[in-house]
């Protein structure tokens, strides 16, 4: 089995109460069966509270408070379950977040979701840029030819994006050449109405889109994006989404999704540089963490561009 992760993956540690956007607020938190069994055995006041505040209708999940906070988040934004029972008592989703895992035949890939501000910081400050670590155990697991073909293309794309001495626009053109695709140009402001039509969780996301609507982007604004951050962002999107494609047309669609996502964040940054890192977190939370939103964007991309050709 082949195991892959970004070089900064192992550096992640939850910053707890220092986090400005606590993942225990605003998200539905599912409780896996093993943890539910553990909570059923907890005695005392906390045990009683655990059993009272987990929904048993259908899938188990914590019943959030009216303000969207987890009922076990204290005033210092620290988890009372951890403080009382230790980290081993966390349900799977809490223990693993913001980590994500993509499994393919013979390949397991792990990463950090950019809905987390600490994950964003690690991505943008990694001295080596976006760099993958690959390891293989002794087992010879059967690999999928299509997946490995895509992985080889992705490796070329990531190599092109890693040359941070080149302007982002040049690196993007290099990627389009690898994809055997004409350079897809995006007008982020024209995409704002569509993005506003998608499911939204956080009012701040709508506010960011509104600021972009009111801002006049400079002509050829993308040529000004020489900062390392956009190559790393594009790389992170490609790492998470590229191998999920099922055929040649979908490969180009996923590539376009990653390019559009990078362009939208860059445009938001241009309109309001003071919220640059927050735009990454918001975009990931609102778009990447909604399968429905991702698929709606991909469908829209297929309507606007011809992705019938293979690679």
> What's the pTM?
0.89
Q: Distance between CA 217 and CA 185 in Å, rounded? A: 14
Confidence at residue 208, expressed as pLDDT on a 0 to 100 scale? 97
- Whether 243 contacts 109, CB under 8 Å: yes
pLDDT tens digits, residue range 193-206?
Answer: 999 999 998 899 99
pLDDT of residue 262: 95
Q: What angle do CA 90, 94, 97 make, to 5 degrees?
A: 145
- pLDDT tens-digit profile of 8-25? 999 998 887 778 877 777
Q: How many CB atoms lie within 10 A of CB 154?
A: 20
What would the pLDDT profile of 124-169 be if each residue is shown by its tens digit? Answer: 999 999 999 999 887 667 788 999 999 999 999 999 999 988 888 8
Cα angle for residues 309, 288, 305 (degrees, 5° grid): 25
Q: What is the DSSP string of 186-206?
A: --HHHHHHHHHHS----HHHH
pLDDT at position 197, please?
A: 96
The answer to whether 269 touches 233, Cβ cutoff 8 Å, is: no
pLDDT band at 309 (very low <50, low <70, confident <90, very high): low
Helix H or strand E encompassing 104? strand 99-104
The Cα 213–Cα 215 span in angstroms is: 6
DSSP state of 88: G
Domain ranges of the chain: 24-96, 144-304
């Amino acid at each position: 089995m082949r195991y892959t992760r970004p070089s900064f993956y192992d550096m992640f540690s939850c910053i707890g109460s220092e986090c400005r956007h606590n993942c225990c607020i605003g998200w539905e938190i599912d409780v896996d069966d093993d943890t539910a069994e553990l909570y059923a055995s907890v005695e005392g006041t906390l045990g009683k509270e655990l059993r009272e505040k987990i929904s048993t209708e259908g899938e188990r999940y914590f019943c959030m408070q009216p303000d969207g906070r987890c009922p076990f988040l204290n005033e210092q934004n620290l988890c009372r379950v951890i403080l009382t029972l230790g980290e081993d008592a966390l349900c799977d989703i809490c223990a693993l977040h913001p980590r994500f895992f993509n499994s393919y035949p013979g390949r397991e890939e792990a990463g950090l979701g950019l809905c987390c501000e600490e994950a964003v910081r690690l991505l943008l400050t990694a001295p080596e840029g976006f760099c993958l670590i690959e390891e293989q155990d002794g087992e010879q697991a059967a690999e999928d030819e299509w997946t490995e073909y895509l992985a080889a293309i992705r490796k070329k794309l990531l190599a092109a994006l890693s040359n941070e001495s080149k302007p982002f626009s040049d690196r993007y053109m290099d990627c389009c050449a690898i994809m055997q695709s004409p350079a897809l140009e995006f007008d982020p402001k024209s995409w704002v109405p569509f993005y506003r039509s998608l499911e939204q969780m956080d009012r701040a996301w709508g506010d960011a889109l509104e600021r972009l609507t009111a801002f006049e982007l400079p002509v050829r604004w993308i040529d000004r994006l020489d900062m390392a951050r956009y190559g790393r962002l594009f790389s992170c999107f490609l790492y998470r989404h590229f191998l999920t494609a099922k055929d040649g047309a979908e490969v180009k669609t996923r590539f376009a999704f990653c390019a559009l996502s990078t362009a939208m964040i860059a445009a938001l940054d241009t309109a309001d540089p003071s919220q640059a890192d927050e735009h990454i977190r918001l975009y990931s939370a609102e778009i990447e963490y909604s399968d429905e939103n991702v698929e709606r964007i991909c469908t829209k991309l297929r309507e606007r561009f011809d992705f019938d050709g293979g690679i």
